[in-house]
Amino acid sequence: MVDVIYKKGKKNIIIDGREYGAISLYFHIKRNILILKRLKERGEWDEERQMEHKAYIERYLKAFKDNFDDEAIW
């Protein structure tokens, strides 16, 4: 579940109890994509764990697209 709050005139969202602004959420998603790629290449994660992580990234990406536009990052 995603909650929207406004702090100091800026829109923030709360996902899983953590608060994210547009920039912090963007970099959180990018970091998780890189982690997935790295561990997938090394073969350290089985297929089930990869699918769980992909679903996690997709959920955060959907929250980003629903609440922020690309202009909010820069």
Dihedral over alpha carbons 73, 5, 32, 17 (to 10 degrees): 160
Residue-wise pLDDT tens digits, 15-31: 999 999 999 999 999 99
Domain spans of the chain, in order of start: 22-74
Q: What is the mean pLDDT of residues 35-55?
A: 91
Binned at pLDDT 50, 70 and 90, residue 53 comes out as very high
| pLDDT at position 12 over 80 | yes
Binned at pLDDT 50, 70 and 90, residue 59 comes out as very high
Count Cα atoms within 13 angstroms, Cβ side, for 67.
24
What does the pLDDT read at residue 69?
Answer: 86
Q: Cα separations (Å) of 68 from 27, 46, 49? A: 13, 33, 28
